[in-house]
């Protein structure tokens, strides 16, 4: 007897599936939610110009929402229990926060992980010098930047100085309305013939990114022929008078040069956001906010991981390639008193699932030559789910499984999240990576999921408001969902 073929149910009625601008699909109430969320995000982004500032703001928000420091809990003899909210930090830069779920930790975590560092200019260890009658700050760029984008625009100086006695000085100059700003000069077009003949990569050099600090000579030394570098001396005196800082303190400082000014609404219709550090604070903030807004106790422990050093390879003690995450999960298990020791840790890591919350590229009509329009995200068409990133032959990508893609798709669709798929452009056009591969090595399911940007890694990046909100909505749904 011939075997009858079973009908395979379709997951949805047959239709053309495409990405498009989703504003008109939102109800009025959700449009209001988008605007309210983006106002809060703009305030965060404008204040969090460095990974340390992002960390401090995140911890303050967590504590206000009832999260407790894991070290304090351990010191007081506490134990993890369902519904408890905890966090653990690393050197004031990297942060892991969690809402403990009903299921044992060995059953795996639901993780949203992003990073809070961004491309910038760092002051060198011996940065202050004088040349041509002006004082300058010698810098070393951090992350993948286009150097020509950093000249002839207002800059601010953020960071910390740790004095020899261990005291800490916070620096933020160039953000207040009455603050001075800084700048890197560019050559005038009248003398720029040779510069114009160079490639864009060669027109401004790394060693040419010297920040203009001042031009006023120290008063008492103005006519003293014995004093060389009188303008530099004037800057040093200002630093000593206003901040109690001496030149040697630069050796134990982390000073970052960033674009000056707040994030702003973009466009006559105010549908977009222009800001420094969307990559990746737009996803980090969404994850943090999603965790804080969870209602009730999730089935699986919900985790948000905000790390440092992603823009330079996730290296160092605060990068994702460190053991901070693994150590923190081990601390969780120790306070939950599980059975199995190291085996419980390995099971927890392998059974976890993660959204690698990082930004993606948008189809830019100004640069169609590098775009793969059918497979690149579009602005305000939703949060971007990227099965893989990497370069050329998927190098550096964890390449999510079809099964996990289906799970994320189901979670988002059931929660009414507007989402789209995306790639980083044409196959051989370039590429990039995220922290996904550093978590995938534990055997857990990981997929990249974040907001699409124009002008990624530029001093001012562009994001869609709807996309920013849908990242938050998607992360919240993922953290709260129950596995089937």
Residue 189, classed as helix, strand or coil, is: helix
Does residue 144 or residue 430 have the better pLDDT? 144
Q: What is the pLDDT averaged over residues 40-63?
A: 98
What is the DSSP code string of 29-70?
HHHHHHHHHHHHHHHHHHH--SHHHHHHHHHHHHHHTT-EEH
Contact 447, 387 (CB under 8 A): yes
Predicted pLDDT at 340? 64
Residue 414: CB atoms within 10 Å:
10
Residue 84 has pLDDT above 90, yes or no: yes
* 184-209 mean pLDDT: 95
User: What local confidence, expressed as pLDDT, does residue 152 receive?
Assistant: 97
Burial, 379: exposed, middle or buried (Cβ in 10 Å; 0-12, 13-18, 19+)? Answer: buried
| Mean of pLDDT over the chain | 93
Among the residue ranges 195-199, 231-235, 328-332, 371-375, the one predicted with the least confidence is 371-375
Tell me: pLDDT of 7 over 70: no
Tokens representing 137 are 């700050």
Extents of the domains making up the chain: 23-118+276-480, 120-259
Cis status, amide bond into 244, omega within 30 of 0? no
DSSP letter, residue 147: G
Confidence category of residue 3, pLDDT binned at 50, 70, 90: low
Q: Can you name the CATH fold of 23-118+276-480?
A: Aminopeptidase (3.40.630)
DSSP result, 221-288: GTT-TT---HHHHHHHHHHHHHH---GGGGGGEEEEEEE-S--EEESTT--EEEETTHHHHHHHHHHH
Report, as an integer, the average pLDDT of 285-302.
97
Condensed to tens digits (0 to 9), the pLDDT of residues 166-180 reads 999 999 999 999 999
- Residue pair 449/267 in contact (Cβ under 8 Å)? The answer is no
For the chain, how many residues are written? 484
Q: Specify the pLDDT at position 2.
A: 53
**Residue 425's pLDDT band (cuts 50, 70, 90):** confident
Is the domain spanning 120-259 CATH 2.30.250.10? The answer is yes
Looking at residue 12, its pLDDT comes to 60
Residue 428 pLDDT: 82
């Amino acid at each position: 007897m011939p075997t009858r073929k079973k009908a395979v149910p379709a997951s949805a009625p047959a239709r053309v599936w495409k990405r498009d601008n989703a504003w008109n699909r939102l109800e009025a109430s959700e449009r209001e939610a988008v605007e309210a969320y983006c106002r809060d995000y703009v305030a965060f982004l404008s204040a969090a110009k460095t990974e340390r500032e992002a960390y401090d703001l995140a911890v303050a928000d967590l504590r206000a929402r009832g999260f407790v420091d894991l070290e304090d809990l351990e010191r007081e003899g506490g134990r993890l229990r369902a519904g408890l909210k905890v966090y653990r930090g690393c050197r004031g830069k990297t942060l892991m926060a969690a809402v403990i779920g009903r299921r044992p930790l060995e059953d795996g975590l639901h993780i949203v992980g992003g990073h809070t560092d961004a491309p910038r200019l760092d002051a060198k260890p011996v940065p202050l010098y004088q040349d041509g009658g002006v004082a300058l700050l010698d810098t070393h760029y951090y992350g993948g930047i286009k150097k020509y984008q950093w000249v002839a625009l207002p800059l601010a100086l953020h960071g910390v100085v740790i004095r020899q006695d261990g005291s800490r000085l916070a620096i933020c100059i160039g953000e207040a309305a009455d603050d001075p700003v800084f700048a890197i000069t560019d050559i005038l077009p009248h003398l720029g013939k040779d510069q114009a003949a160079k490639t864009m990569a060669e027109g401004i050099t790394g060693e040419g990114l010297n920040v203009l600090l001042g031009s006023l000579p120290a008063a008492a030394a103005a006519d003293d022929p014995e004093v060389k570098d009188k303008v530099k001396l004037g800057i040093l005196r200002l630093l000593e008078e206003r901040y109690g800082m001496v030149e040697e303190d630069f050796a134990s400082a982390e000073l970052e040069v960033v674009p000056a000014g707040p994030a702003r609404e973009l466009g006559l219709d105010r549908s977009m956001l222009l800001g420094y550090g969307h990559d990746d604070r737009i996803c980090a903030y969404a994850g943090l906010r999603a965790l804080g807004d969870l209602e009730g106790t999730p089935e699986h422990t919900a985790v948000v991981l905000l790390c440092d050093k992603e823009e330079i390879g996730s290296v160092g003690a605060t990068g994702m390639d460190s053991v901070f995450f693994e150590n923190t999960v081990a601390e969780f298990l120790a306070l939950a008193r599980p059975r199995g020791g190291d085996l419980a840790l390995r099971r927890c890591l392998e059974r976890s699932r993660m959204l690698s919350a990082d930004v993606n590229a948008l189809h830019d009509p100004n640069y169609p030559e590098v775009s793969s329009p059918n497979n690149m995200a579009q602005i305000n068409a939703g949060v971007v789910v990227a099965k893989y990133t990497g370069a050329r032959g998927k190098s550096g990508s964890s390449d999510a499984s079809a099964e996990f893609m289906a799970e994320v798709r189901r979670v988002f669709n059931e929660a009414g999240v507007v989402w789209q798929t995306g790639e980083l452009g044409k196959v051989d056009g370039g590429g990039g990576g995220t922290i996904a591969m550093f978590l995938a090595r534990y055997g857990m399911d990981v997929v990249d999921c974040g907001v699409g940007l124009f002008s990624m890694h530029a001093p001012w990046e562009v994001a869609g408001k709807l996309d920013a909100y849908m990242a938050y909505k998607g992360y919240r749904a993922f953290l709260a969902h129950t596995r089937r």
